[in-house]
């Protein structure tokens, strides 16, 4: 065995979890992504999806995707920079820019590529990136790739953010980057205060709306609109893999910024462009966001009901105020075990361990879709109550 294989073979955590019968990853779903899915021939309720508006099975979304394949084929066989730009890419970008209130936008093949590509190239060696410690891994990767000075502030701690801003050279570019909704904890960024501090210290702001669009704001336009600060946020990022029921991502900003990114963001320039089916599905999902506000309203009815239920049960759910509800376990092995026991009870939830969260903050991520029914939620709440009580968590 060579040295590389010898080193990698020492990683045996998954093997140990499998041997214990509690390995929770890569469960093979044999059905569509809906409120109920089939795994190993067994029906379970899905409370682990990011499809907040429940659009992955909407007839209009599926038909739009199929029609796009019929017209354009299955792929573009090149990057947007060269032969991979279709008219539907450009049309969707214009709609997305208008949707979030910006001059222009560009689409990427994944949301991860948006953050890793944009953040890596937008500031220079003498500039600063100031970021929340609980930002998504794609943001952290973009920061890691950047040559700029990197300053981390404590999660949603505006005093900590201001102290970091005070360290910056006032004559250099300063970019504050944060999630609008934090993907594991479910809480929202303090956007009004972030914007206030950005103005005070002449900084720019980039907000990741991956988990905010479709959930917050008028017609699901995101947390920036919810807090009334969209005009003051310089770059708004979103993904297609959540409320848009597709795959891909976008960044929206002013014309000059988008022009720069088109010619400098390497994950955009040197990746195959988003497939026709993905673009068409996202476009159809946007139509539904605008035309079916009852989905958004039902999602919030369910969210408030679930939050009340977990609080009354005595679960530790942190500061969440969104359809993402963390159920803190704070023990790796117990988290795995509870996920298995809930699955056995017919509930699919996701375990969240380090590095997604700090090692002492392991949790179960319970998430809601607008297509869930109250009866399904009641069943899940009761199943969780029984399992948590058995393990003395409530």
Instruction: Look up 94 and say whether it is catalytic.
Output: no
Highest mean pLDDT among 6-10, 78-82, 189-193: 189-193
β-pair partners for 174: 128
What pLDDT shows up at residue 360? 83
Q: Reply yes or no: is the peptide bond before residue 355 cis, omega within 30 of 0.
A: yes
The pLDDT mean for the chain works out to 96
Q: Is 345 exposed, middle or buried (0-12, 13-18, 19+ CB in 10 A)?
A: middle
Instruction: Look up 148 and say whether it is catalytic.
Output: no
325 Cβ contact list (under 8 Å, min separation 6): 186, 306, 307, 310, 317, 365, 366, 367, 368
Single out the catalytic residue among 211, 226, 298, 372: 211
pTM: 0.95
Which residue would you say has higher pLDDT here, 92 or 332? Answer: 92
Instruction: Look up 226 and say whether it is catalytic.
Output: no
Single out the catalytic residue among 65, 116, 183, 367: 183
Tell whether the model's pLDDT for residue 1 goes beyond 80. Answer: no
Spatial contact of 383 and 347, defined as CB atoms under 8 Å apart? yes
Tell whether the model's pLDDT for residue 298 goes beyond 70. Answer: yes
**pLDDT band of 358, cuts 50, 70, 90:** confident
Angle between helices 137-145 and 111-122 (to 10 degrees): 30
Single out the catalytic residue among 89, 242, 298, 372: 242
**pLDDT band of 333, cuts 50, 70, 90:** confident
What pLDDT shows up at residue 356? 74
C-alpha of 75 from chain center:
25
């Amino acid at each position: 065995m060579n040295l590389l294989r010898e080193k990698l073979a020492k990683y045996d955590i998954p093997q140990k979890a499998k041997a214990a019968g509690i390995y929770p990853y890569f469960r093979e779903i044999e059905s569509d992504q809906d409120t109920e899915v089939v795994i190993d021939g067994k029906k379970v309720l899905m409370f682990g999806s990011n499809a907040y508006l429940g659009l992955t099975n909407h007839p209009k979304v599926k038909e739009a995707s199929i029609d796009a394949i019929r017209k354009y084929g299955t792929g573009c066989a090149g990057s947007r920079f060269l032969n991979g730009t279709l008219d539907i890419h450009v049309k969707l970008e214009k709609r997305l820019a208008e949707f979030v209130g910006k001059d222009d936008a560009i689409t990427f093949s994944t949301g991860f590529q948006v953050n890793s590509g944009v953040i890596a190239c937008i500031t220079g060696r003498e500039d600063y990136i100031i970021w929340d410690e609980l930002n998504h891994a794609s943001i952290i990767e973009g920061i890691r790739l950047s040559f700029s000075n990197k300053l981390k502030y404590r999660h949603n701690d505006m005093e900590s953010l201001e102290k970091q801003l005070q360290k910056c050279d006032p004559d250099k570019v300063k970019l504050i980057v944060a999630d609008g909704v934090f993907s594991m904890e479910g809480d929202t960024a303090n956007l009004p205060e972030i914007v206030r501090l950005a103005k005070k210290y002449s900084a720019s702001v980039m907000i990741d709306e991956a988990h905010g669009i479709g959930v917050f704001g008028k017609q699901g336009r995101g947390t920036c609109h919810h807090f009334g600060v969209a005009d003051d946020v310089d770059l708004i990022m979103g993904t297609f893999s959540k409320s848009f029921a597709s795959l891909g991502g976008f960044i929206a900003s002013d014309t000059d910024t988008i022009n720069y990114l088109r010619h400098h963001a390497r994950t955009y320039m040197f990746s195959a462009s988003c497939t026709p089916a993905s673009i068409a599905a996202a476009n159809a999902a946007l139509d539904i966001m605008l035309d079916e506000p009852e989905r958004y309203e039902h999602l919030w009815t369910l969210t408030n009901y679930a939050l009340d239920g977990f609080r009354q049960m005595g679960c530790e759910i942190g500061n969440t105020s969104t359809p993402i509800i963390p159920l803190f376990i704070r023990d790796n092995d117990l988290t795995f075990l509870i996920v298995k026991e809930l699955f056995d009870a017919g509930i699919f939830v996701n375990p969240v361990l380090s590095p997604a969260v700090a090692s002492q903050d392991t949790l179960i991520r319970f998430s809601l879709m607008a297509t869930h029914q109250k009866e399904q939620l009641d069943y899940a709440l009761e199943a969780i109550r029984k399992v948590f009580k058995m393990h003395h968590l409530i």
